[in-house]
């Protein structure tokens, strides 16, 4: 650590320099007045010890000038001045410590510098980790794919991080809503404060109010201590309200008031706490439909809608399925020291024809299992364990004509039986010539 | 070795580095003789702010060499002049300073001869 000692008394300056340099990691430069000190390149000093009484500048003047120069060095005032109010004022102005020149100065200085070294080490560690977190939550790190649908999501996310607008994320289960919330937070101006996630579906209804808004001691039976709510915890950062559609009507009214007033009052309290944070909400349900059904307040819906981010289901990102499958299988193989495997043509067909009700989460699980099950250089169709029972109800969610449904069903079975038309005809109780004709006419594809 | 100050701590922390000790003593003597003249002048002019300023300057070096005989007098001088209280005590405190500080300086200079 490089330290500047600004001390007009050359006896005490030499003494300070010596005791500080007794610690091998510290290098000291001594300046006898403010003018000489400010002639130097001050960016090299991580810490400055400053005498309170300099001949040419006041201590406050030096501190103020350093602030104007955006100097980030830690300042330790070392002075014979023992007036407590002076010390308090200096500490309030941002001075790291105030050391009185007395019999304990040597120990106090060493202690302060040791604490500063630890503080700087922690700051560096936080900076490194923050960089790693930002990198980890870079949009393209967490959302893999290059389909038009995903490119659109990227462009919306870029807009989200440039302001504090409320973001509403919609998407089926397994599409990565929480990861997107994290990516928005860690790439935004709120990233130096907490991201607090609250899953509305996971909190018993009777606890939601105190969980969100906190409570005062004695607010209700069992409230033995004061509790900070999630909104207060997230103040200055981001609150992510997952499965917001699960919030009951009475609490929807309270949430609306919090959003409108930008302040929260703890349960049983009367003191409003001002809030400044980003709000991100998500739901696998269609909130507008919930409004239509009378389950969700319309005014709250419009307050929360903000910037909508829709994460498309995997089945609508056909172009990304194979890319993601390869990504997940490679990642799992690397993490487990297993050989990287190709995905055979038959397996690709099977992946493309699956409905993926569990979306990316399901694909990841399927590919990890496939890497384990595969006994050859490639992942074959038989290595893919797909949960076909869950596809039936979901297929009906797609808005298709009867003809399109017919084509989808035949394509699905062809893929499942490796293009064996005779077997599919038997299974579906249709003529094999019908299937051949559909293939010939291009109505269905055999992958 | 003297009974009016104690250089043990300085010797220990410097590893008995004679050059460092010599330089420190020279600086002590040079500065404090100057401060003593200034504090006397300030007292003659009843300039209590300046009396406090130079008491404040003398205090740290007195503590470093453990010149305990002057420790409380210099703290009192600093406080009385700063708060402008017990001003009648200041001449007495200065007399002690004028008597002891030159003695300390002379004794220190002898150590490095």
Residue with tokens 């596809």: A391
Q: Strand A263-264 vs strand A47-51: parallel, antiparallel, or unpaired?
A: unpaired
> Is-contact A54 A29, C-beta < 8 A?
no
Q: Is the pLDDT at A219 greater than 90, yes or no?
A: no
Same fold, A2-129 and A138-311: yes
| Pairwise CB contact (< 8 Å): B61 & A22 | no
**Residue A103 touches partner B, C-beta closer than 8 Å:** yes
Residues 44-103 of B with CB under 8 A from A: 53, 56-57, 59-61, 63-64, 78
- Give me the residue label for tokens 């560690």: A125
Give me the residue spans of the domains in chain B: 8-111
User: pLDDT confidence of B54, banded at 50, 70, 90?
Assistant: very high
A14, A53, A80 member nearest B27 (Cβ)? A14
For residue A298, give every residue at least 6 positions away whose Cβ sits within 8 Å of its Cβ, in sequence order, or none.
A291
Provide the pLDDT for residue B49. 94
Domain A2-129 is of which CATH architecture?
Answer: 3-Layer(aba) Sandwich (3.40)
Confidence band for A14, pLDDT divided at 50, 70 and 90: very high
pLDDT tens digits for range A277-308 = 999 999 988 888 899 889 999 999 999 999 99
Residue A414 pLDDT:
86
Is A14 in Cβ contact with B23 (below 8 Å)?
A: yes
Q: Is A234 in contact with A182 (CB distance < 8 Å)?
A: no
Interface size, chain A vs chain B, as Cβ–Cβ contacts under 8 Å: 44
Taking CA–CA distances from B26, the nearest residue in chain A reads A11
**A19 neighbourhood in chain B, CB within 8 Å:** 13
The Cα of A74 is separated from the nearest Cα of chain B by a number of Å equal to 23
Q: Look at residue B1 in the predicted model and tell me its pLDDT.
A: 56
Nearest chain B residue (CA) to A14: B24
Q: Give the mean model confidence (pLDDT) for residues A206-235.
A: 87
> What Å distances lie between residue B95 and A230, A260, B59, B74, CA to CA?
67, 73, 16, 11
Contacts of B29 in chain A (CB under 8 A): none
CB A282 within 8 A of CB A178: yes
Cβ <8 Å between A18 and B23: no
Percent of chain A with pLDDT over 70: 97
* Superfamily covering domain A138-311: P-loop containing nucleotide triphosphate hydrolases (3.40.50.300)
Task: DSSP letter for A400, please.
Answer: -
Round to the nearest angstrom and report the end-to-end CA distance of chain B.
13
Whether B22 and chain A come into contact, CB under 8 Å, resolves to no
pLDDT of residue A382: 92
Which two tokens mark B98? 């004028």
Residue A14 to residue B24, Cβ atoms within 8 A: yes
Mean pLDDT of chain A: 89
Instruction: Say whether residue B43 is in contact with chain A using an 8 A CB cutoff.
Output: no
A343 pLDDT tier (thresholds 50, 70, 90): very high
Question: How much is the pTM?
Answer: 0.55
From the list B30, B16, B14, B12, the residue with the least C-alpha distance to B108 is B30
A84 contacts chain B (CB < 8 A): no
With an 8 Å Cβ cutoff, are B63 and A15 in contact?
no
User: What are A233-275's pLDDT values in tens digits?
Assistant: 999 999 999 999 999 898 899 999 999 999 999 988 888 999 9
CB spacing of A19 vs B13 below 8 angstroms:
yes
Residues of A in contact with B53 (CB under 8 A): 53
Q: Enumerate helices (H) and strands (E) in chain B, giving the number of each.
A: 5, 0
Question: What mean pLDDT is predicted for residues A107-114?
Answer: 94
Chain A interface, best mutation among B60, B62, B78, B83, by max A CB count within 10 A: B60
Place of tokens 């829709």: A310
A315-440: what fold?
Helicase, Ruva Protein; domain 3 (1.10.8)
Radius of gyration of chain A (CA): 32
> Domains of chain A: which residue ranges?
2-129, 138-311, 315-440
Rounded average pLDDT over A218-247:
89
User: Does pLDDT of A391 surpass 60?
Assistant: no
A94: left (phi over 0), alpha (psi -120 to 50) or beta: left
Contact at CB, B60 and A9, closer than 8 angstroms: yes
- Give A379's Cβ-side CA count (13 Å radius): 29
Chain A's closest residue to B64, CA to CA, is A103
In a 13 Å sphere around the CA of A33, the CA atoms on its Cβ side amount to 5
CA distance A95 to chain B (A): 21
Taking only the tens place, the pLDDT of each residue in A43-78 is: 899 999 999 888 899 999 999 999 999 888 999 999
Comparing A255-264, A322-331, A407-416, B72-81, which segment has the lowest mean pLDDT? A407-416
A102: which chain B residues are within 8 Å (Cβ-Cβ)?
63
Coil vs helix vs strand at A28: strand
The 10s digit of each residue's pLDDT in B2-48 is: 688 999 999 998 989 999 999 999 999 999 999 999 999 999 999 99
List the single residue in A with minimal CA-CA distance to B74. Answer: A80
Sign of the dihedral through C-alpha A416, A421, A423, A425? positive
Q: Which tokens sit at B60? A: 């740290």
Residue range B8-111, CATH number: 1.20.120
Report the pLDDT value the prediction gives residue A51, as an integer from 0 to 100.
Answer: 92
Collapse the DSSP code of B97 into the 3-class scheme (helix H, G, I; strand E, B; otherwise coil) and give the result. Answer: helix
pLDDT tens, A128-144? 887 777 777 777 777 88
Give the three-class secondary structure for A167: strand
* B113: confidence class by pLDDT, cuts 50, 70, 90: confident
Helix (H) or strand (E) holding A377: none
Give the percent of chain A with pLDDT over 90: 49
CB burial of residue A124 (10 Å; 0-12, 13-18, 19+): exposed
Q: Is pLDDT of A35 > 90?
A: yes
When pLDDT is averaged across residues A3-22 and rounded to a whole number, the result is 93
Q: Is B59 within 8 Å of A80 when comparing Cβ atoms?
A: yes
Q: Which of A11, A53, A106 sits opposite B61 (nearest CB)?
A: A11
């Amino acid at each position: 650590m490089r330290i500047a000692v600004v001390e007009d008394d050359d006896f005490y300056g030499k003494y300070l320099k010596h005791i500080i340099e007794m610690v091998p990691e510290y290098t000291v430069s001594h300046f006898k007045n403010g003018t000489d000190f400010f002639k130097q390149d001050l960016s090299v000093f991580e810490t400055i010890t400053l005498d309170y009484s300099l001949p040419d500048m006041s201590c406050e003047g030096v501190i103020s000038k350093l602030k104007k120069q955006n100097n980030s060095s830690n300042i330790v005032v070392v002075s014979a001045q023992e007036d407590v109010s002076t010390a308090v004022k200096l500490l309030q102005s941002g001075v790291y410590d105030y050391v009185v020149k007395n019999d304990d100065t040597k120990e106090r200085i060493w202690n302060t510098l040791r604490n500063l070294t630890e503080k700087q080490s922690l700051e560096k560690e936080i900076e490194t980790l923050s960089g790693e977190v930002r990198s980890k939550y870079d949009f393209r790190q967490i959302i893999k794919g290059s389909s038009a649908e995903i490119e659109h999501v990227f462009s919306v996310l870029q807009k989200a991080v440039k302001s504090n607008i409320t973001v509403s994320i919609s998407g089926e289960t397994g599409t990565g809503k929480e990861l997107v919330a994290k990516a928005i937070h860690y790439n935004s101006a709120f990233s130096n404060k907490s991201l607090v996630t609250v899953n509305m579906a996971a909190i018993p209804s009777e606890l939601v109010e105190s969980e969100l808004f906190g409570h005062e001691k004695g607010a209700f039976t069992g409230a033995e201590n004061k509790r900070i709510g999630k909104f207060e915890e997230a103040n200055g950062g981001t609150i992510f309200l997952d499965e917001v559609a699960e919030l009951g009507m009475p609490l929807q009214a309270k949430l609306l008031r919090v959003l409108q007033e930008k302040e929260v009052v703890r349960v049983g309290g009367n003191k409003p706490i001002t809030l400044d944070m980003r709000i991100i909400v998500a739901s696998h349900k269609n909130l507008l439909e919930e409004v239509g059904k009378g389950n969700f307040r319309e005014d709250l819906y419009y307050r929360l809608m903000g910037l909508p981010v829709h994460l498309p289901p995997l089945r609508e990102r056909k172009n990304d399925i194979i890319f993601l499958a390869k990504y997940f299988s490679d990642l799992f193989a690397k993490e487990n020291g297993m050989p990287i495997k190709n995905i055979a043509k038959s397996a690709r067909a099977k992946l493309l024809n699956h409905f993926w009700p569990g979306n990316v989460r399901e694909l990841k699980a399927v590919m990890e299992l496939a890497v384990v099950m595969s006994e050859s250089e490639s992942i074959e169709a038989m290595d893919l364990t797909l949960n076909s029972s869950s596809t039936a109800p979901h297929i009906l969610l797609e808005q298709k004509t009867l003809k399109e449904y017919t084509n989808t069903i035949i394509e699905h079975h062809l893929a499942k039986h490796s293009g064996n038309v005779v077997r599919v005809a038997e299974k579906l109780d249709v003529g094999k010539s019908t299937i051949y004709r559909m293939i010939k006419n291009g109505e269905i594809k055999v992958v | 070795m003297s009974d009016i100050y104690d250089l043990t701590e300085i010797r220990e922390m410097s590893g008995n580095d004679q050059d460092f000790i010599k330089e420190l003593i020279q600086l002590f003597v040079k500065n404090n003789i100057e401060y003593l003249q200034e504090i006397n002048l300030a007292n003659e002019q009843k300039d209590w702010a300046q009396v406090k300023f130079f008491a404040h300057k003398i205090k740290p070096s007195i503590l470093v060499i453990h010149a305990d005989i002057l420790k409380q007098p210099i703290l009192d001088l600093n406080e009385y002049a700063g708060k402008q209280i017990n001003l009648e005590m200041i001449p007495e405190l200065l007399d002690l300073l004028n008597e002891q500080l030159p003695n300390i300086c002379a004794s220190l200079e002898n150590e490095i001869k």
